Amino acid sequence: MLAACGARVVVLDREPAGELPAGVEEAALDVTDETAVDAAMAAVAERLGRIDVLVASAGIAIRRPATELPLDDWQKVVDVNLTGVFLCARAAARHMIAAGGGRIVTVASIMGVVGGGAYPNVSYQASKGGVINLTRALALEWAPHRIRVNAVAPTYVRTRLIAGLLADAEVLAELERRTPLGRLAEPDEVADAVLFLAGRGSAMVTGHVLAVDGGYLAQ
């Protein structure tokens, strides 16, 4: 969606994204690797001339009850979902400060706001709650540098992250029941929110968490 609006987009991920639309490039990156993150952001800034927008969207989930969650699994989720956001935001902000400003959009979750849910997911919820307050803290710290930092907090979205859940008809029905609008979100609906926070229409918005949740958090 960003590319369709004229942005030059680089997707940074551990795995190839597959077929990409025009205007989108890709490069390999593990967001938990501090050295690699700094190098990747420097390479993007050098190749494109600047970094105007960062969308920090890498995320994983390991769904287990807290009493059965190994520390290694807890750490994996926190490393990707929270530390990875910090490392990418910090690296991008260094280039944005030098260029006179920018926009950072983090991807949190409704699970970063509530403690309940259809199943235990404590490491994911803790990490996304951290993303929300990290977003607010960075928004205040970097406001003097004309860097806006906001978050989107989606509900359940039809992506690979929850493909296993959606294969169970009973779980899908329960997720839809818990959502006032009665359905899951589509990726484009989250992308619309990202586009708004990355664009001129949100020029006076920073430190905000925009829920894309079909009314989930209004309950």
pLDDT of residue 161: 77
pLDDT of residue 34: 98
More confident call, 116 vs 153: 153
Mean pLDDT taken over the chain:
95
pLDDT single digits (tens) 133-148: 999 999 999 999 999 9
Catalytic residue set: 124
Q: If pLDDT is split at 50, 70 and 90, which confidence band does 39 have?
A: very high
User: What CA–CA distance (Å, rounded) separates 194 from 108?
Assistant: 12
pLDDT single digits (tens) 193-210: 999 999 999 999 999 999
pLDDT of residue 182: 96
pLDDT of residue 105: 98
pLDDT at 3 over 80: yes
Domains located in the chain, CATH noted:
52-218 (3.40.50.720)
Nearest to 163 by CA among 61, 57, 29, 28: 61
Angle of helix 84-99 relative to helix 34-48, nearest 10 degrees? 30
pLDDT of residue 22: 84
pTM for this prediction: 0.95
HEC readout, 105-161:
EEECCHHHCCCCCCCCCHHHHHHHHHHHHHHHHHHHHHHHHCEEEEEEEECCECCHH
Nearest to 138 by CA among 209, 196, 77, 90: 90
